[in-house]
Amino acid sequence: MELLLLLGLPLLGSLLLALIGRREWAPEANVLMSAGTFAAGVWLTAHVIAHGPMLVWHEQFFIDPFNVFLVILTSFIGLTTSLFSRPYLRTEEHHGRLNRRQLRLYHSMFQLFMFTMLLALTTNNMGILWVAMEAATLTTVLLVSLYRTPASIEAAWKYFILCGVGLAQALFGTILLYFAAEKVLGNAGSTALLWTHLNEVKGQLEPTVLSLAFVFMLVGYGTKVGLAPLHNWLPDAHAEGPTPVSAVLSGLLLNVALYAVVRCKVLVEGSVRSDLAGNLMMGFGLLSLLLAAFLLWRQKDIKRLFAYSSIEHMGLATFAFGMGGPVANFAALLHMTVHSLTKSSLFFTVGHATQKAGTQVMDKIRGLITSNPTVGWGLMLGTLAILGMPPFGVFTSEFLILITAMREHPWATPILLLGLGVAFGAIFSRVQAMVFGETSLPRLPHPPALVPVFAQLALVLMLGLYIPPHLADWYREAARLIG
Amino acid sequence: MPTLAFSSQLINLCAALLLLLSFAMLAQRRVLTLVDLFAMQGGTLFVSIIVVAWSTGQPHLYYSAALTLILKVILLPLILHHLIRRLGAQWESETLLNTPITMLAGLLLVIFAFTLAQPISQLANTVTRGTLGIALAVVMLAFLMMITRRKAVTQVIGFLAMENGLFFAATSATYGMPMVVELGVALDVLVSMVILGIFFFHIREQFDSLDLHNMESLKED
């Protein structure tokens, strides 16, 4: 029932908004649908906490502590993004960059995107997981090109082709997985792609097939996580699409793709009994972290800057999942949470700042703190949070990842520190210049939505200072499941 | 029901045809001919699925064969023909990169695909065990085609040909994926075709041509 609401509301919302999306109150309807989805997410979470993992609808859907926390995070950021997009898109319309038809497309596709994300998270079928990931690409590709400028069309084309090819690899990986599973489970009743069944028999699956399948799936879903060297689409799509889309791409899509990788890793590790999967993830993670950190220095566009920072953080989380073990998994889950919250709130403030300045070029954005103190402070605090300054939550997760790396893979520690340090310098120097300094920028026609920004930053701060025991148990349970 | 040896010969024949068509696509310069080659590839895939279904008595494979016939032999080529005519691109051809080198690269990819699939094929107990390598080779050749071409339409045909290779892999290694998944994949392919169709018009509107050479402003500097 909870699940039906959770999946049904965004699907219904996308249909509804496709029909009535031109009305004046479409943004409010969007907020309402997202709020409903979030409420359903909370309800589902309460159910899972009270009754334990659930397996419903002919075992096609499976909710355990690992995905339920991502469900609630996803629906929460969906809600805050819809709150943010309300004034943001009105201002864009006011500036004449978007018309009503494009707004209708945006609202409808946004809801459909939420549906695909939640479907990918809750499904138990590895094939449906793939279908949902591909559908997520399809829904966002039209959002990236929403402005119809040459640059945005180019970005969307690149996004489509790269992710399409990447996901084709993941489908091949899924076919190989099915091939291995079919031998053990038989293909009667098509249970051989259900994750729960696979997880039970993972010890009997053919190791050679599974390791090859994992390579394909890591490359495939890794393209969507934005792992180097397959990250090329990510900065373009983030920079050229509307800001709410950048926020959900960074805050949700990357997480869900990483979730898919981790689900595969659990199966493969159980079968192969070597560190192959973990080592591959560690390698890709470190490479992404390092490459993104150095590329950060060359950015001139503020949204590209934070897009590269997303690659860096996803690299770090992938590295932590690659190390495995309770502490590293705990840290990686925490890192996914705080990164989503911080990065989407950063994109919200960046959205308002760029609308104000009329440009995304960092050299032209100056003195936010005098012209609009709340936007300026939001950007500064968000930046400090994402850079891992104590007492924000990102510090906690990065610290945990670092100490685990020191204990188990000492060789990786200097690389991690180098990457984090370089990224710190690059981002901090740019943002400081944008926040402080002289300015004469005009005010925005619609008051910016800064409640979600500060609410999310407050959550990140809270997670840095104190993780509620309930949540900690929950992370521990999820970390144990991942192994 | 034909003998297994006979049907496995037939499937090998289809696989060889698929591979041949992939090479033909790699070397084909005219867009419309490329669409026809793609339709022929879909047709070969359809025949091979029918043969597998018939010789092994897997009823659900008939559905997936019907799906292939409708989607890949009829619907997608029709949409592509229609789009190309609407875009006025039917006489367009493109200059290829050095053809002998592309072919050589294709050959190397085929060898690579076979080596990769070798240990897995030996584990398969389906009648189609030898063809997994070919399926992987078809995927990789389509990938090569996407890399070497600079026109939006040809890149999309490459993308669809890759999907053909994947479907062939699914039937040859495992007698087809569960029906829900196949339906979902088919839906995704169809929707992506529609979206790409919209895209062609956007690209042409913004860049005055479907040549992707014009798209180089977002290069990392």
State pLDDT tens for residues A52-71: 888 887 888 998 888 888 99
Q: Which whole number is the average pLDDT over B164-192?
A: 84
**Residue A444 binned pLDDT confidence (cut-offs 50, 70, 90):** low
Inform me whether the pLDDT recorded for A446 exceeds 80. Answer: no
**CA of residue A77 relative to chain centroid, distance:** 10
- The one-character DSSP state at A61 is E
- For residue B217, give the nearest of A151, A183, A295 by CB distance: A151
Lowest mean pLDDT among A4-8, A269-273, A303-307, B83-87: A269-273
Backbone angles phi, psi at B19, to 5 degrees: -65, -45
Contact A79, A35 (CB under 8 A): yes
Which residues, 6+ apart, have CB-to-CB distance to A436 below 8 Å? A367, A369
Least confident segment among A97-111, A386-400, A436-450, B113-127: A436-450
CA A50 to chain centre: 27
Q: What is the DSSP string of B61-94?
A: HHHHHHHHIIIIIIIHHHHHHHHHHHTT-TT-B-
Taking the C-alpha atoms of residue B191 and residue A161, their distance in angstroms, rounded to an integer, is 14
* pLDDT for the residue numbered A348: 92
Percent of chain B with pLDDT over 70: 87
Q: What percent of chain A shows pLDDT beyond 70?
A: 98
Query: What is the pLDDT averaged over residues B86-97?
Result: 72
Given a cut of 80, whether residue A219 has pLDDT beyond it is: yes
Q: Report chain A residues whose CB lies below 8 A from the CB of B146.
A: 161, 165
Say whether residue A139 is in contact with chain B using an 8 A CB cutoff.
no
Closest Cα in chain A to B142: A165
What is the pLDDT, as a whole number, of residue A334? 92
Residue B210 has pLDDT above 80, yes or no: no
| Interface mutation target, options B52, B115, B177, B206, chain A, most CBs of A under 10 Å | B177
Choice between A233 and B129, residue whose per-residue pLDDT is larger: A233
For β-strands A61-63 and A54-56, DSSP reports them as: antiparallel
How many alpha carbons fall within 13 Å on the CB side of residue A220?
Answer: 27
* Nearest C-alpha neighbor of A64 from the set A194, A196, A260, A177: A196
Interface touch A295/B220, C-beta < 8 Å: yes
Rounded CA separation A285/A292 (Å): 11
The answer to whether A165 contacts B152, with C-beta atoms less than 8 Å apart, is no
pLDDT score at B169: 87
Is residue B33 scored above 60 in pLDDT? yes
Q: Where does the pLDDT of residue B217 fall: very low under 50, low under 70, confident under 90, or very high at 90 and above?
A: low
The reply to whether residue A176 touches residue B120, judged by beta carbons under 8 angstroms, is yes
What confidence category does residue B127 fall into, taking pLDDT thresholds of 50, 70 and 90?
A: low
Mean local confidence (pLDDT), A310-339: 92
> Chain B residues with CB inside 8 Å of A165's CB?
143, 146, 159, 162
Q: What is the mean pLDDT of chain A?
A: 88
Across the interface, whether the CB atoms of B177 and A127 are under 8 A apart is answered: yes
Coil vs helix vs strand at B180 = helix
Confidence of residue A218 (pLDDT cuts 50, 70, 90): very high
Q: Which of residues 294-323 of A touch B (CB under 8 A)?
A: 295, 298
pLDDT above 90 coverage of chain B, percent? 22
Residues A368-420 pLDDT 10s? 888 788 888 889 999 999 998 888 989 999 999 999 999 999 999 999 999 99
Compute the distance between CA of residue A415 and CA of residue A216 in angstroms, rounded to an integer: 26
- What are residue A335's phi and psi, to 5 degrees? -65, -40
Q: Give this complex's ipTM.
A: 0.90
Residue A61's DSSP bridge partners are A56, A123
- Judge: B119–A208 Cβ closer than 8 Å, yes or no: yes
pLDDT class for B221, splitting at 50, 70, 90? Answer: very low
Residue B105 clears pLDDT 50, i.e. is over it: yes
Q: At residue A327, does pLDDT exceed 70?
A: yes
Beta-carbon separation of A172 and B139 below 8 A: yes
Any chain B CB within 8 A of the CB of A148?
A: yes
pLDDT at residue number A440: 61
Query: Do B166 and A175 lie within an 8 Å CB cutoff?
Result: yes
